Each structure stands twice: as structure tokens, then as C-alpha cells.
Structure 1
Amino acid sequence: MSDAETIAVYDARAAEYADRFMSDKPGAQLLAFIALLPPGGRVLDLGCGPGTSAVHMARAGFTVDATDASAKMVRMASAQQGVTAWQAGFSDLDADALYDGVWANFALLHAPRVDMDTHLAAIRRALKPGGVLHIGMKTGDGTARDAIGRQYTYYTAEDLTARLGRAGFSILDQATGHEVGLSGSDDPWVILRARAIG
């Protein structure tokens, strides 16, 4: 789970975060994820923030569950039409073969490295056989707090790919880039889409 200081930052800056990242249309990465899902399937937005992606998935006809550790983010996500949201940490995921897709977009980067394999295993269990995971992470090494106090764990694409393989996923595709986030820093990232084997 994210640490208390990180959650407090998101509680305090939820409105600012929503203003920065809300959009009228889904972005290219979300469209690529949606294209891999069965029509009308069930998806989980893990670390949903204000529901930016969840609402687009609901509009696309999916049943959307959304979780976040920040109570204020959950309230904002719950206000989105078609989105069922509740407060939960990553370790609270206990679904079994429930979801056609899990959207974990720049959320698990707040989890301690020691817990990552456990979280990926839980996501694998939560997915139906052949289900799809989207995971976005900032790239680098080690851990650090950003300028506004959020704790990050950084990964290389190679490390993340290996962890997904051990958890029972087959990589479908990979994208890299960089973006200026809430703290003002321009950070490199990797996105992987993977299918649950079996």
C-alpha cells in the first residue's frame, strides 16, 4: 500500500490532480487497452485517482470497478457516471477470475518494491484466463520522494517484464515516453500491456 504521506498528498491535491489529468476523450494508451478487451467486459481501475480513465471505460460500455487509497479521490471517482468506486489499498485486492482487464496506470509505483510480486500475483488471480493488464510505471532505480512528498519505487522495463513473467503474464506490447506530472518534474515512463496466461 502507499504510505500515509503519499495518500495525504493525494487527499490534499485531489482537485488539482483532476484538473490536470481529466480529459474529454480517452488517450491512446487507454484506447489500446480497451481494444484488447471483450465488449461489455468487467474492468478494474486499480489506483483510479479521480476516475479519469474509469469514466471513459464506462462510456465504452464496460462494467467498471475502481479503487484508490485516497478517500477524496474515491469520492471524485464515485461521482463519475457508471463507475463503482471504493477506498482500498493494493493489498486489499482479493478477487478471483472476476475481471477481463485491470488498468493499473501509474499507481503501483507507490507500492514498496518488496510487495510488488505479491500485488502482481493478486492481479493475476483477479483476472480471468486471457485477461489483460495495463501497467504504467516511472522508470529508474531505487526509491525516492518527489518534490511534493509522494513516495516512488522505480523500475527498469527489463525488471518489470521479468516480474510480470514470473506472475503468469505474457507481454503483448510496450511503450515508453516521458511526462510532466503533478510535482512539475518531467519523468520517463514505461507502459506494458500483458495477458494472463492460462
Structure 2
Amino acid sequence: MSNIGFYDENAEDYFRRTVDSDMTAARRLFASQVAPGGRVLDAGCGSGRDALAFHQMGFEVTATEAAPRLAEIARRHTGLVVDVLTFDQMAWRDHFDGIWACGSLLHVPRVDLPATLRRLRDALVPGGAWFMSFKYGPFERPANGRRFTDLDEEGAAELLAQVRGLQLISMDVVGDSRADRSGERWLSLLCRRG
């Protein structure tokens, strides 16, 4: 089964498990780097949790989700338009003041990550901010019906060197905000397009 197929088949369960995850601190840090009322892309919005929060903060939000059933649930939850798009279908240029990719890029195969990041980098305006997070580790692995590309500090540094044009603002290792996943760690990156 593909990652998209997994999220379509498990959309309701995934929504329930993630919609209340507390991402407040990461959202605030990201929002502090984006001009008030700026255009924010929630790339792979999942439940719509963060797209709704950014909308409520006054940002102009574009939300995308690759899995159609999950996109529909996110639409109902947020009242926002949620476009069904994969990363390789995104073709914006110099459009967004910020990109939020929370736990979504981790499904891109490692070999495809540099090109995917370049595509999203190009969607940012110069000076635009970008938050992305990956499960912590050096591996590319199958787990629970999905494929994951994990990143650690070394892998993130190598990836950013391949992409070019992104300046690292911060890199943090944090625990999972979901109670049933308290033992998992995430690598969070906040970057700016140069």
C-alpha cells in the first residue's frame, strides 16, 4: 500500500489521533518569522489542525493534502479549502511568506528529498520562513503500512547543503506531542530562503 493509500484508508483514525496534538510552541516560533497576515502554505496538512490555527492567527492559508479522504476531513474540520496535491504537483514560484511542512516530508524517499525541497523552496518568497519536521534518526524504513525517511542532525545538514538557498534558523530534537507516542523523537528545522 502507498502512503497516500494508508492515509485514505485510515483517515478518520489518523484525524482523531493527531487533531489535538499540541504544536503551539512550534507554530509560535514559525509565526514569529512570518509577516502578520502573510501567505502560509500548509504542505501536507493532515487533519488541518495547523492550517486552522494559522488561519485563526490571521494568516492567509493555502492547505494541501495528498490523501483525498483526509483532505475532505480537514475541509470539514477547518472550513478551509484543502487542495488535493502531492509535493511533485506543486509549482508555485515566489508566492508564500511561509511554508509549514509538519510531519509530511518524512514520506518522501530520501533520493527524492533534495528535488522536493528545491520545489518548495522556490514557492517561498526570498526571506520566507519554512518549518519542517521528520521522525528522528538516520534510516529510511517501512513502519505500520507506510514508508518513512527519518533525519538526524547530520542528515539534515547534508540535505540542506544539497538544496542550497536555505539558511538554517534553528534545529531542535523534540518529543512527540501525542500521549501514545511519548517515546518518539522528532527533528524540527526552521529555515529561511536566502
Q: TM-score, normalised by structure 2?
A: 0.91
Q: Of the candidates 129, 138, 143, which is equivalent to residue 140 of structure 2? A: 143
Unaligned runs of 5+ in 2: none
Whole-angstrom distance in 2 between the partners of 1:24 and 1:48 = 13
Q: Which runs of 5+ in 1 are unaligned?
A: none
Q: In structure 2, what is the Cα distance between the partners aligned to 1:79 and 1:44?
A: 18
Question: 1:187: Cα distance to partner?
Answer: 2.4
Query: Which residues in structure 2 correspond to 1:35-54 (within 5 Å)?
Result: 35-54=32-51
CA displacement 1:77-100 (0-9 Å, x = unmatched): 222446321111111111000000
Bigger Cα displacement from structure 2, 85-94 vs 172-181: 172-181
Alpha-carbon distance, 1:26 to partner: 5.2
Distance apart, 1:175 and its partner CA: 1.5
- CA distance in 1 between counterparts of 2:60 and 2:154 reads 32
Alignment of 1:49-64 (within 5 A): 49-64=46-61
How far apart are the structure 2 equivalents of 1:190 and 1:184? Answer: 15
Aligned counterparts, 1:1-198, within 5 A: 4-23=1-20, 27-81=24-78, 83-146=80-143, 148-167=144-163, 168-179=165-176, 186-197=183-194
TM-score (normalizing by structure 1): 0.89
C-alpha contact (below 8 Å) 2:22/2:177 kept by paired residues: no
Question: CA offsets, 1:54-104, max 9 Å, x none?
Answer: 000001111111111100111122224463211111111110000000001
Q: Deviations over 1:93-139 (max 9, x none)?
A: 11000000000111111011111000110111000000001010012
More moved, 9-18 vs 55-64: 9-18
Greater shift, 47-56 or 23-32, is seen at: 23-32
Return 181-190 or 119-128, whichever deviates more: 181-190
Query: Identical aligned pairs, as a percentage?
Result: 31
Q: Quick one: distance in 2 between partners of 1:48 and 1:68?
A: 5
**Runs of 4+ residues deviating >4 angstroms:** 180-185
Deviation per residue, 1:126-184 (Å, 9 max, x gap) = 000000010100122232111x2111112222221332244211111121123276996
| Secondary structure of the corresponding residue to residue 186 of structure 1 | coil
